[in-house]
Structure 1
């Protein structure tokens, strides 16, 4: 009996050994790699991180606490168009070329850039992520974003709409949901979604106004609608919610008028407000430099070649001859502005707490309860590339890195 037991035991060991050898000698079959989930990049223009609260923004609050949150330092200048282009190119304004919300270009005499400018030459200093994605076979959709209706070197998103400021927030969110309901073959893997109401209300009435709270409530509800719609269709997605800059309350006692300091014959205005851009009149340079020195001490002025290095700004040929930067809350006004008594402004030093921008990221790619130190918004585009499976640019082609997110990303 004992011999039979030993024989059976030896047989089992021998068969197990054969199975192990067979497994080791068999060709290794890699597990099929799943396609990345859709990523939706949401911008709330002019949203300060301290607007976030469980009472005012229940949907954003829930998103923040289901994933990762932090604050971002905007690129200089802390203005809408330059920073939106930085968020999707990973380059600072001095490199991507959208250096202001109003600008001229020496290579195109007489051309003036404004909010409705869609000539490709203004934008083609850098490739936005949706253009790179489309070239790589990754379908994209843009429900508004500065520059998204422009054919960048002939490339547009597969799905895009011309900007209409009066399109309701809910309709914007519903358009994105319609894209997410599509079959996988025509469903965008990268989507952008833009809301502008909070910035508009912040300018007109100030960051702590009832009008701003109403605008925040409207945007938060639209994001809640998007979130509920994704859940109802069982569609998993990574959501990245950002703002381009904050908003500072304007101090009427520190609003100055350029005409009280500068001779109109000696300069040419480019833009005014929380940052003041202007050019020399040829032959009047010395006179203008003397007049600039007369501005109050809370206004700091530099010729374009002398700006602080931390701004990473001033080499692009579109940067005007002079830049004056008021301290937060001060303004320099010029001409006959439509809204001379605005209650809020931006464009100030990106290191100012009032200029800090929102960052929330949630979805299967992100750890719950993650918190990030303050980081530069040039890091967002590399993060988006990682999320949608698009190779990173080489270090010389970008100003940011996704390294800051290493601690909050789930390992794949």
Structure 2
């Protein structure tokens, strides 16, 4: 009899431990089933742009919700690595999308203008994007042109998706998202990721301070005005958690601030795996020592390191896709193939990103409004890996393994503010 009692007590104790573990790992404050989450990215929208007075609808979102001083992007400050970081919470060094241009021994070459590479899931399987995590939890996800959104992840696509097409206007992108959000509850996505690229394109071509870049900024803002006004007319705006981010900022590049990568290292000596601002170099067999002597250390407009010796604050240099040597250009300088340089318009100021994430020009935006967020609050800067834990919390799902920390974003949330006030009163 005593042995039976002891066994029963042991079983009860094991059950309680199991329940406690589940409670500890479960997300807090799961949202109502009818609270959509909408994540919007404006590629290359520098944090300081919000203060230019050109984007009244973005300002309206900030005034009605929360604004961060800025987001610190991950290294390298490129579009594809940082967009995948935002939705996985992993550094590029961990999710494997290590640059806009990269090579893999099995997969070959990756470029952002290669649809076949972009749609190949093995480039993306190093992280679990939020829409896949949501679907694994029984919810539905949608991606509208989001970098990485058109590729499957371990065989699974978002339930609603549109592949990237620069010809789709800003307004047409918003209209498609509004159609998805107008579907019946049985099919409507719980989380939608919407991407705008025109500011990035115009900033690259004409510079971040150009009339063309400002016009793109205003077109995007007008489209966002259509989004929030339509949601408000439907009675859905105040039950939608809306977050607007960017991947990085943009710096101005003077016409003469460009060098040819062939002047850094010859094709006989090495393969250049990426160009632009973060330059990847893989020495050819037999040329390793020669290339290191030529490149390592500081130069007039760039500095080079072995991959394992990059600045620790960049948290970059362990992934197999990162080549043996990485050179980082100084702000406002590009390294491009000589053939491409020959086609450049003489005297044309351009824009570039890909520089040190600590530079003010690389700072990204974060604003948010909705039932989960406080109103009229400004929070300190945080790293972009921290966005993913927030997304998971808002969806009420257990986050996948990630490098982020939700703590910097808790002051943005109404529930956290209420808990803090209650704790203060008790003291």
Any gaps of 5 or more consecutive residues in structure 2? 1-29, 417-427
Once the two structures are TM-superposed, the CA of residue 322 in structure 1 deviates from its matched residue by: 1.3
SS of alignment partner, residue 234 of structure 1: coil
1:39 maps to which of 25, 34, 37: 37
1:178-224 Cα shifts (integer Å, max 9, x gaps): 11112212111100100000001111111100000010011000100
User: 2:363 matched to which residue of 1?
Assistant: 356
Normalised TM-score (structure 1): 0.88
Comparing 327-336 with 352-361, greater Cα deviation is found at 327-336
1:140-167 Cα shifts (integer Å, max 9, x gaps): 1111111111111111111111221110
1:200-258 Cα shifts (integer Å, max 9, x gaps): 11111111000000100110001000001101111121110000010000134442223
User: 1:77 matched to which residue of 2?
Assistant: 76
1:382 maps to which of 389, 408, 412: 389
List aligned pairs for 1:210-289, cutoff 5 A.
210-235=211-236, 236-289=239-292
Say if 2:103 is the partner of 1:99: no
Moved over 6 A (4+): none
Structure number with bigger Rg: 1
1:324 maps to which of 293, 307, 327: 327
SS of alignment partner, residue 412 of structure 2: coil
Comparing 248-257 with 68-77, greater Cα deviation is found at 248-257
Normalised TM-score (structure 2): 0.85
State the number of aligned residues. Answer: 376
Comparing 270-279 with 95-104, greater Cα deviation is found at 270-279
Is the contact made by 1:36 and 1:387 (CA closer than 8 Å) also made in structure 2?
no
Any gaps of 5 or more consecutive residues in structure 1? 1-31
1:403 maps to which of 404, 407, 419: 407
User: 1:155 matched to which residue of 2?
Assistant: 156
Comparing 268-277 with 332-341, greater Cα deviation is found at 332-341
Measure the CA separation in 1 of the matches of 2:296 and 2:323.
18
Question: In the superposition, relative to structure 1, how do residues 54 and 37 fare at CA in structure 2: closer, same or farther (>3 Å)?
Answer: farther
User: 1:10 matched to which residue of 2?
Assistant: none
User: 2:299 matched to which residue of 1?
Assistant: 296
User: 1:180 matched to which residue of 2?
Assistant: 181
